[in-house]
């Protein structure tokens, strides 16, 4: 689970934790959290400083009306293969970047069994990994996040640097044998 900052209001924080137990994920923005339903379709904002005293009650009401709110969350293991191409970079640069990219990629906690393969003739880098997620959308999000993080670190913060690497192909495969209940 990704750590997120606590909500300043205790009762809302409690609601968010119960949602997380149902597979929801919250991403903090400036004035709200973005709440993502594990189904990959629903999205709800959670205000940081709501002034309406009925805010939480309304929020709970809206969420509990969702069909997927009561579904049991089944986490599935997904295998991802993400192929990137760096058509404008020269071979020496790709080779030089590779160690940094690999170090950062293997450091990402949310994914496992990371692997990197490189084909210098076509200037492609192939990232593969396994990730446990509630839906294919969430799995892809985690995988793309890991690759983006790795490329970003290798660019040492140069803005737009990771744009040199263009996503060519995304393959995702669920492994139902390894499905586990959350
Ligand atoms: Zn949903």
pTM, two decimals, is 0.65
Q: Please list, in sequence order, all residues whose beta carbon lies within 8 angstroms of the beta carbon of residue 12, skipping any fewer than 6 positions away.
A: 46, 50, 55, 56, 59
Alpha helices in the chain (DSSP H): 10-21, 55-64, 91-107, 136-154
Q: Please list, in sequence order, all residues whose beta carbon lies within 8 angstroms of the beta carbon of residue 96, skipping any fewer than 6 positions away.
A: none
Confidence label for 106 from pLDDT (cuts 50, 70 and 90): very high
Same domain, 53 and 115: no
How many angstroms separate the alpha carbon of residue 64 from the centre of ligand 1? Answer: 10
Residues 57-104 pLDDT 10s? 999 999 988 888 877 777 789 999 999 998 888 888 888 889 999 999
How many angstroms separate the alpha carbon of residue 40 from the centre of ligand 1? Answer: 6
CB atoms within 10 A of CB 24: 24
How many angstroms separate the alpha carbon of residue 43 from the centre of ligand 1? Answer: 8
Residues 33-50 pLDDT 10s? 999 998 888 999 999 999
CATH number (domain holding residue 162)? 3.30.70.1120
Does a structural domain hold residue 1? no
Q: Could you give the number of structural domains in the chain? A: 2
Same domain, 111 and 156: yes
**Does residue 165 contact residue 176 with C-beta atoms inside 8 Å?**
no
Same domain, 55 and 35: yes
Does a structural domain hold residue 81? yes
Does a structural domain hold residue 5? no
Same domain, 80 and 104: yes
Local structure of residue 117 (DSSP, 8 states): E
Q: Please list, in sequence order, all residues whose beta carbon lies within 8 angstroms of the beta carbon of residue 150, skipping any fewer than 6 positions away.
A: 101, 102, 104, 105, 108, 127
Residue 140 predicted with pLDDT over 90: yes
How many angstroms separate the alpha carbon of residue 69 from the centre of ligand 1? Answer: 7
Whole-number mean pLDDT of the chain?
87
Same domain, 49 and 115: no
How many angstroms separate the alpha carbon of residue 93 from the centre of ligand 1? Answer: 43
CB atoms within 10 A of CB 71: 13
Among the candidates 24, 45, 70, a domain finishes at 70
Same domain, 104 and 156: yes
How many angstroms separate the alpha carbon of residue 38 from the centre of ligand 1? Answer: 6
Same domain, 86 and 176: yes
Same domain, 158 and 99: yes
How many angstroms separate the alpha carbon of residue 62 from the centre of ligand 1? Answer: 11
**Does residue 88 contact residue 164 with C-beta atoms inside 8 Å?**
yes
| Containing structural domain, residue 47 | 10-70
Q: What are phi and psi of 167, to 5 degrees?
A: -70, 125
How many angstroms separate the alpha carbon of residue 108 from the centre of ligand 1? Answer: 27
C-alpha dihedral (35, 37, 40, 44), degrees to nearest 10: -40
Looking at the chain, the whole-number percentage of residues with pLDDT higher than 70 is 90
Same domain, 82 and 47: no
How many angstroms separate the alpha carbon of residue 22 from the centre of ligand 1? Answer: 10
């Amino acid at each position: 689970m990704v750590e997120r900052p606590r909500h300043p209001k205790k009762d809302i924080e409690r609601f968010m934790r119960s949602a997380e137990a149902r597979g929801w994920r919250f991403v903090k923005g400036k004035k709200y959290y973005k709440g993502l339903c594990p189904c990959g379709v629903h999205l709800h904002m959670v205000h940081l400083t709501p002034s309406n005293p009925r805010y939480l009650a309304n929020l709970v009401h809206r969420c509990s009306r969702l069909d997927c709110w009561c579904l049991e969350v089944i986490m599935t293991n997904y295998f991802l293969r993400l192929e990137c191409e760096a058509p404008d970079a020269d071979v020496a640069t790709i080779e030089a970047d590779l160690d940094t990219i690999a170090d950062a990629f293997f450091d990402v906690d949310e994914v496992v069994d990371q692997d990197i393969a490189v084909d210098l003739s076509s200037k492609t880098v192939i990232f593969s990994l396994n990730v446990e997620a509630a839906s294919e959308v969430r799995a892809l999000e985690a995988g793309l996040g890991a690759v983006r993080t790795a490329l970003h670190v290798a660019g040492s913060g140069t803005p737009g640097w990771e744009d040199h690497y263009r996503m060519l192909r995304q393959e995702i495969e669920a492994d139902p044998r390894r499905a586990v209940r959350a």
